[in-house]
Amino acid sequence: MNNPKPVKHAAAVLTAIAIGAFLATFNETFLNVALTPMMHTFHINSGQVQWVSTAYMLVAAVTVPMISFLYRSVPTRRLTTVAFIFLLAGSLIGAFSTAFPVLIVGRCVQAVGTGMIVPIGMNLTLLIAPKGRLGTYMGVVSAVTLLGPAFGPIAGGLLLSVSDWHLLFFVFSALTAAALVFNVIFIDDYAALSQPKLDVLSVILISLTLIGIMYGISTIFSQSVIVAILAFVIGVVSAGLFVRRQHQLDEPLLDLRPFKDASFVKGIAVVFIAFMSVFAMNILLPLYMQNALGFSALDAALTLLLPCLSCVVFAPLAGSLYDRYGFKHSLPISLLVMAAFLLLMSTVTGTHTAGVQIALIYLPILAGCNFSIGPTQSYVLDNLSEDLHPHGVTICYTAIQTAGCFGSSLYVGILSAVEQGRLAAGFKSALAVTGGFHVSCATAAAVALIGFVVALSLTWHPFAAAPKQSSEQLS
């Protein structure tokens, strides 16, 4: 055991956490607008260039389960510094890459940093939040994790308008270097270390689980169906073996006891559904605006800018209200709002006011996400014992990554399937895309409605949805 340092400046530490979480999630979508220019630079096809995103996603996913072990084994400042060094090193490799394999290596190195930064930040947030303010603190982290992926294509599009894709890596390297310095100044060794033993077989099994499931989900609609199904089956079988292995160990890599709590499982389901929606809309809306409405990439990004910036207001507000009143009423309402406006989004057509309609409808969808994600994360994690916090965070963030993968694949797959069917029936391209977009949004609305039912069951009991420190407020 070590002697953890006391937290003297919680606000500064939270700022460092928020900066890191923003950069890590921002980097997930920052390069999306650069995929076509990369195809031209390296003379590759669309299937090959997708590995810029796919490899990144898979490596980040495999890294996350290691954090519960590393957080309890490595001093906090050293651990966060190493995470930022991975992010910086990968960015520099990408910036100077002249061959596609080198670029992929850079993205994989970046992904290790990303897979470390956000869960470490969530663990630190649980540790430093003053009594009765966890919702507010988690709201700040939730805001940046929603804002980052949404803002990435906007910034990327602006930079590409003045230079080539290498500039994106150079700019990100500079931002990461500044965040690294901020981290070294304000993050100290706050976490207690218990020096757990690392079970290598568990690492192998969870890696096969996440790679198999996420690769299968992400490629089922775009590549070989047989390969995707095989990968998914390997992932599911590995998951079963992983669970069995954890029950056999005195010190499991991932303690699965949180799953014995029905409220935890329901809360994770709500977070999963909400993130499915927000990640999918980040892809569906630009596709629809560019391919059906004729927007440029930059115009599409700017249309979504104001709704995305609203996260900075809504998420901390949702957290503050959770700290005071819990979320017995606000959580079901937020999911119902999401469902209603996703359904409304499915009616938007190619009129001259379509951009305004999309922005106005997307705003309450994001508000619903903010009022569901941050408070629910606060509730499920705060109700775990302190020794289970690292494991709960790992489960939660793994669910978030899987939700992004599953939501994007499902909704884009539906859009593509409907589009191809309409093209075969003789529809014009814009109308075919519009039909696919409408069906995808309607499906997302139905999934959000399922989330509403889960939220009702989570908040059914008088004290179930109260913050841990003030459950009497709902009596």
Q: Who's near 456: CB < 8 A, 6+ residues apart?
A: 332
Average per-residue pLDDT for the chain = 87
Residue 275 placed within a domain: yes
Residues 343 and 229 in one domain: no
Q: Which of 147, 161, 154, 68 is nearest to 115 (CA)?
A: 68
Residues 173 and 205 in one domain: no
Q: Label residue 338 by pLDDT band (50, 70, 90).
A: very high
Q: What is the mean pLDDT of residues 201-229?
A: 86
The reported pLDDT for the residue numbered 40 is 85
Which of 38-42, 364-368, 468-472 has maximum average pLDDT?
364-368
Q: Label residue 235 by pLDDT band (50, 70, 90).
A: very high
Q: What are the structure tokens assigned to 146, written together?
A: 């929603």
- Out of 252, 267, 288, a domain closes at 252
The reported pLDDT for the residue numbered 44 is 84
The reported pLDDT for the residue numbered 240 is 95
Residues 153 and 68 in one domain: yes
pLDDT(69) > 70: yes
pLDDT(190) > 70: yes
The reported pLDDT for the residue numbered 351 is 75
Quote the number of domains for the chain: 3
Q: Label residue 35 by pLDDT band (50, 70, 90).
A: confident
Alpha-carbon distance of 463 to 475, in angstroms, equals 7
Residue 152 placed within a domain: yes
pLDDT(155) > 60: yes
Residues 312 and 461 in one domain: yes
Residue 208 placed within a domain: yes
* pLDDT tens, residue by residue, 86-135: 999 999 999 999 999 999 999 999 999 999 999 999 999 988 888 888 88
pTM for the model stands at: 0.85
Residue 473 placed within a domain: no
Lowest-confidence region among 323-337, 411-425, 438-452: 411-425
Residues 285 and 432 in one domain: yes
Residues 8 and 76 in one domain: yes
Alpha-carbon distance of 93 to 104, in angstroms, equals 9
Residues 449 and 410 in one domain: yes
The dihedral built from the CA positions of residue 35, 37, 41 and 43, taken in this order, carries a sign that is positive
The reported pLDDT for the residue numbered 475 is 28
Residues in the chain: 475
- Out of 252, 278, 295, a domain closes at 252
- Domain of residue 246, residue span: 199-252
The reported pLDDT for the residue numbered 467 is 58
pLDDT(1) > 60: no
Q: What is the mean pLDDT of residues 193-218?
A: 89
Residue 475 placed within a domain: no
The reported pLDDT for the residue numbered 461 is 60
CATH code for the domain in which residue 135 is found: 1.20.1250.20
Residue 109 placed within a domain: yes
The reported pLDDT for the residue numbered 95 is 93
Residues 165 and 81 in one domain: yes
Residues 211 and 280 in one domain: no
Q: What are the structure tokens assigned to 247, written together?
A: 């029950």
Q: What are the structure tokens assigned to 459, written together?
A: 């908040």
Residue 390 placed within a domain: yes
- Out of 155, 175, 195, a domain closes at 195
Residue 294 placed within a domain: yes
Residues 107 and 210 in one domain: no
pLDDT(377) > 80: yes
Residues 152 and 228 in one domain: no
Q: What percent of the chain has pLDDT over 70?
A: 95
Alpha-carbon distance of 105 to 55, in angstroms, equals 9
CA dist list (Å): 361 to 54, 341, 366: 30, 6, 9
Residues 206 and 299 in one domain: no
Q: What are the structure tokens assigned to 142, written together?
A: 């939730």
* pLDDT tens, residue by residue, 459-469: 876 555 555 54
The reported pLDDT for the residue numbered 134 is 87
The reported pLDDT for the residue numbered 470 is 39
